[in-house]
Structure 1
Amino acid sequence: MFQRIINVYNLLEEDAKKAMTRTIDALTQAGIDYHLKVAIGDPSTEVVEIAKKEQADLIILGTRGLGAIKGVLMGSVSQKIIQAASCPVMIVK
């Protein structure tokens, strides 16, 4: 029987590139260097840990805007990052 080995990390990286196409194009056109990082785990924890490892000066986040009530009940990823980050966090809507 044929077995197919799937590299989950590569699949996630390709999905991230597709989702970020407009942003990547804008950064490239503006001549801004960037590094796409893909991680598996809790998003807020992963963002904070990568920022620490990379010694980031700033974390810039987009927000889906769940709304005040849903955000309070569920806890937003951006709010968790703001509380845990060791550098400033900018939220872009």
Structure 2
Amino acid sequence: MNKILLVPFDASPSSERALRYAVDTAKEDGSKLIILNVQFDYNTRNVRRFATQDQIKSYLDDAARESFDRAEEFLKDSDVDYTLRKRMGIPDQVILEEASDSDADIIVMGTRGVGRVKGAILGSVSYGVLQSTTIPVTIVP
């Protein structure tokens, strides 16, 4: 049975390097990739004061589509089996939930994403995943 590699992807340079690594790994051993884009849930009372639910949904869909378009540039000629998934919520929590839901064998992620908060060595999302997961994580610098 082929392994499942979960690759959180936000089109940042770090996530692009992680995706390249995951694609190379999948080519070697026939793993399947799940490319996960996590969007914050901006559908809050304060945000709805300035934007409709349809506008919020459209913004989130557009942001995910941009990331997926970028990911598919790396994947188009790879002959690697992959699935694109978009979820909303707090990134490290959603990554862990997706890893469990999809029975991922390993999480392959970059050190930093496009978020505002940056750690000294690892980004806050990478650090949160490392601290809470029960499956192997490969952090690609």
Do the structures match in fold with TM over 0.5?
A: yes
Q: Which residue of 2 aligns with 1:47?
A: 95
Measured in 1, the distance between the counterparts of 2:124 and 2:98 equals: 18
Instruction: Say what the alpha-carbon RMSD is for the aligned residues.
Output: 2.7
Q: Which residue of 2 aligns with 1:58?
A: 106
| Contact map agreement 1:27 1:33 (CA 8 A) in 2 | no
Letter in 1 for 2:138: M
SS of the residue corresponding to residue 52 of structure 1 reads: helix
Q: Which moved more, 1:31-40 or 1:58-67?
A: 58-67
TM-score normalized with structure 2 length: 0.50
Does residue 80 of structure 2 align to residue 28 of structure 1? no
Larger % of strand: which?
A: 2
**Aligned residue pairs, count:** 86
Q: Please identify the structure whose Cα radius of gyration is greater.
A: 1
Does residue 129 of structure 2 align to residue 81 of structure 1? yes
* Structure 1: tracts of 5 or more residues without a match: none
Does residue 123 of structure 2 align to residue 68 of structure 1? no
Q: Which moved more, 1:37-46 or 1:47-56?
A: 37-46
TM-score normalized with structure 1 length: 0.71
Shift of 1:7: 7.0
Identity of aligned residues (%): 35
Measured in 1, the distance between the counterparts of 2:71 and 2:92 equals: 20
**RCO higher in structure (CA 8 A, sep ≥6):** 2
